[in-house]
Amino acid sequence: MKNTFLKIIREPISLFIILGVLMYIIYYYSTTYYDQKNKRITVTKSQIQVLKETFTKTWNREPTEKELDAQIENFIKDEIYYKEAVALGLDRSDISVKRRLRQIMEMMMDDMATVYPSEDQLKTYLAENPDKFRKDPVISFRHIYFSSENRDIALEVLGKLKDTLPVDESGFEGLALIPNELSKESYRSVERLFGKSFTEQVFNLEPGSWKGPVESAYGYHLVYISQVTDGYVPELSEIWDEVEREWSVEKKMQVKDQQFQKIKERYTISFVENE
């Protein structure tokens, strides 16, 4: 009997079966342990405190006992749905989940990438990026409006106007929403009111006399420019917060990219043809 048993044990097929059974037992118990562990949800005092603080910040009052119970139940529901979704592999297949997890990772990297500049760094950044902080040129002018079919009349009026102010404009047309006189308007403001072509022309006219007709989105204008101030790049002390904000955003993006590249180096990326 003993010899027969030993003979059976020595058979390759017997060893294969025994190893298979052992592997199944190990797999079964390890999976059962993982499932049991994964099915355990622990709600700590600190988590409950966070729920209370979040409620208080949102509603400007502490939650009632019933409201706190609802918050805890909602927390448990989040945990259960999350674990079930992971168990189903949704975190690996659903693109919206992947994007949400990516957003969370990027938020974490944002915190880690926070940097604070020195004055010298801000001065250098301002010197290297003046156009980011350049102030628009500013203009003050009067204008007399003529509709698009009255360009010839505008030319005739221009010939009669003196190069002085004021001018009696009571007999001329006007624009309902745009005043006849504008003071210290920025380039972008004038462009928003009259259009790009008009703005480019008036900012290149010499002040002190009537000029035109200058075409706009509405028609034609005779323009008297009283003052033009060129655009300029302010001193750092005038725009410190603005420069610091732009520097920090750019630097944070650089640090985040460096962090991502280090993480990316740990992965092997393959491109294969679709089968």
* pLDDT tens, the chain, 275 aa long: 555 655 555 556 655 565 666 665 655 555 554 444 456 778 888 888 888 888 888 888 899 989 988 888 888 887 777 777 777 676 666 677 777 777 777 777 777 667 788 889 999 999 999 888 988 889 999 998 998 888 988 888 888 886 666 666 666 777 778 888 899 898 889 999 999 999 999 999 989 888 989 999 899 999 999 989 888 888 998 889 999 999 988 888 888 888 878 877 877 766 666 54
Inside any domain, residue 184: yes
* Gap between the Cα atoms of 214 and 139, Å rounded: 16
Examine the domain organization and report whether 213 and 139 are in the same domain: yes
Examine the domain organization and report whether 168 and 151 are in the same domain: yes
Measure Cα distances from 144 to 92, 166, 196, 209 in Å.
67, 12, 18, 13
The whole-number pLDDT of residue 116 equals 82
The whole-number pLDDT of residue 141 equals 93
The whole-number pLDDT of residue 69 equals 87
Token pair, residue 74, equals 């909602």
* Gap between the Cα atoms of 57 and 2, Å rounded: 77
- Under DSSP, is residue 272 helix (H, G, I), strand (E, B) or coil? coil
The residue type found at 133 is F
Inside any domain, residue 273: no
* Gap between the Cα atoms of 170 and 172, Å rounded: 6
Examine the domain organization and report whether 154 and 21 are in the same domain: no
* Gap between the Cα atoms of 117 and 246, Å rounded: 11
Inside any domain, residue 270: no
Residue with token string 């005043």: 179
Measure Cα distances from 25 to 6, 13, 31, 35 in Å.
23, 18, 10, 15
Element housing 139 (H / E): strand 138-147
Strand partners, 138: 186, 229
Letter string b/e over residues 21-47, b meaning 16 or more CB atoms within 10 A of that residue's CB: eeeeeeeeeeeeeeeeeeeeeeeeeee
* Gap between the Cα atoms of 82 and 85, Å rounded: 5
The total of other beta-carbon atoms located within 10 Å of residue 59's CB is 10
The whole-number pLDDT of residue 34 equals 47
The whole-number pLDDT of residue 80 equals 76
* Gap between the Cα atoms of 194 and 189, Å rounded: 9
The predicted model scores a pTM of 0.48
Domain count of the fold of the chain = 4
Q: Which domain holds residue 113?
A: 98-133+234-264
Examine the domain organization and report whether 253 and 186 are in the same domain: no
Inside any domain, residue 269: no
Helix 240-264 and helix 95-112, axial crossing angle in degrees, nearest 10: 120
* Gap between the Cα atoms of 65 and 62, Å rounded: 9
Examine the domain organization and report whether 184 and 207 are in the same domain: yes
